[in-house]
Amino acid sequence: MKSLPAALVAIALFAAAPACAQVGPLPAQPAVVPLPLGALTPIAVRDAGFAAANDGKTFGLGIDTAEVGKVLVAGGGKAERVELGVTALLVRISGHVVLIDTGLGTGAKGVLVDSLAKAGVKPADITDILISHGHFDHVGGLVGADGKPVFAKAVVRMTAGEWASIKGAATNASLVAAIGPSVQTFAPGARLFPGITAVAIDGHTPGHSGYEIESRGHKLLAIGDMAHSHIISLARPEWNIAFDSDHAAANATRRRVLTQLAASHELVFAPHFPFPGFGRIVVNDDGFAWVPVTK
């Protein structure tokens, strides 16, 4: 009997692994969820899912994985991995069609463009893209498989610090070449449109920014990667997360912003919380918890 080529054996073993062992980007069905906000209707636009193993390398650095698993299970998750969503936010405001972040991109299982179609929006309709930060799960959707900008008519806006950080990484050369002519930078906290203001949320990346959307006294804060897991990031805000570039700043910011959000009851959009990522923060013991809002 012939032996199987090693590559086929590897594929067979991978296929036989239980689904719960999968980590990295995960496929998702295209979907959109609108949320009324005063006179506006922001729309959550699904791109993908993402999973990270509870192996001590991503969430809870330096914390025993059994302890991390306990927190995950107490919050309704699985002990062996941290599950995230990857979601963008669409806002039609003041004559602009604004997209906040762009997901992983089609090359990495992203379905953002198919989800936008469900909202009746074509890529060429997008006038402005607000980038929270330059990680691949937020800027991946900017460039198509052909190397060209997906949102051909959009101005790509981000903080000057974040653009400098993106340009400083050699691995971003093709991204920088593709979007460079479309990028316009702003200072942290800048008012971008009537109804959308940038909010400096420090620690995740050098120029990380949230975006606050306001209409008729109703507010929604798009938090970017201030918090990743709706369980761990809220229950244990001071646990180090590998994705944060400055742990001390990110942890302090997380505690401060979560405290403010719990006190104000302001609506939140969190791109990595379970789709659609709309909800509110509440105090829970020494940490916080997530209360999803669907309408």
Binding site for Zn ion (CB under 5 A): 137, 225
Other C-beta atoms lying within 10 Å of the C-beta of residue 149: 18
CB of 57 to Zn ion, least distance (A): 16
Nearer to Zn ion, 47 or 225 (CB): 225
Nearer to Zn ion, 102 or 215 (CB): 102
Strand partners, 215: 218
CB of 135 to Zn ion, least distance (A): 5
CB of 138 to Zn ion, least distance (A): 6
Other C-beta atoms lying within 10 Å of the C-beta of residue 78: 13
CB of 225 to Zn ion, least distance (A): 4
- Residue of 117, 92, 89, 93 whose CA lies nearest to 103: 89
For 191, the enclosing helix (H) or strand (E) is: strand 191-193
**Local structure of residue 293 (DSSP, 8 states):** -
Q: Which residue has the tokens 């479309």?
A: 182
Peptide bond into 276 cis (omega under 30): yes
Nearer to Zn ion, 128 or 137 (CB): 137
**Residue 234 is encoded by which pair of tokens?**
């809220």
Three-state DSSP at 146 gives coil
Q: Is the four-CA dihedral 59, 62, 67, 71 of positive or negative sign? A: negative
CB of 246 within 8 A of CB of 254?
A: no
Nearer to Zn ion, 80 or 225 (CB): 225
Half-sphere exposure of 1 (CA within 13 A, CB side): 2
Nearer to Zn ion, 214 or 278 (CB): 278
Half-sphere exposure of 2 (CA within 13 A, CB side): 5
How many helices (H) and strands (E) the chain has is answered by 8, 15
Nearer to Zn ion, 80 or 244 (CB): 244
CB of 25 to Zn ion, least distance (A): 11
**Local structure of residue 2 (DSSP, 8 states):** P
Nearer to Zn ion, 137 or 244 (CB): 137
Separation between Cα atoms, residue 169 and residue 92, nearest integer Å: 33
CB of 251 to Zn ion, least distance (A): 17
CB of 137 to Zn ion, least distance (A): 4
Nearer to Zn ion, 137 or 214 (CB): 137
CB of 200 to Zn ion, least distance (A): 17
Triad 54, 231, 56: Cα angle to 5°: 20
